[in-house]
Amino acid sequence: MGESDKIGNKAEELKGKAKEAAGKATDDERLEAEGRRDQTAANLKQAGENVKDAFRS
């Protein structure tokens, strides 16, 4: 796991934000919820990376 994983996690978070915004704009609750789930998953992965980084230091 390295820098590319961190970039991928950030991209997943941004994709989730876009889905959430599109869901809000189109009143699509399912898409909005999917976007929030994507963001949560990305944030959990990022937190895991931060913990790994802390132990490597």
* CA trace torsion 11, 16, 20, 21 (10° rounding): 0
The tokens describing 26, both together, are 């189109």
Q: Which domain holds residue 47?
A: 15-55
Rg over alpha carbons for the chain, rounded to the nearest Å, is 13
- Asked, for residue 8, whether it belongs to a domain, the answer is no
- Asked, for residue 44, whether it belongs to a domain, the answer is yes
pTM of the predicted protein model: 0.81
- Asked, for residue 34, whether it belongs to a domain, the answer is yes
In total, how many domains does the chain have? 1
pLDDT category at 1 given cuts 50, 70, 90 is low
- Asked, for residue 2, whether it belongs to a domain, the answer is no
- Asked, for residue 31, whether it belongs to a domain, the answer is yes
pLDDT at 40 exceeding the cut of 70: yes
- Asked, for residue 6, whether it belongs to a domain, the answer is no
- Residue environment code for 4-22, b if the CB has 16+ CB neighbours within 10 A, otherwise e: eeeeebeebbeebeebbee
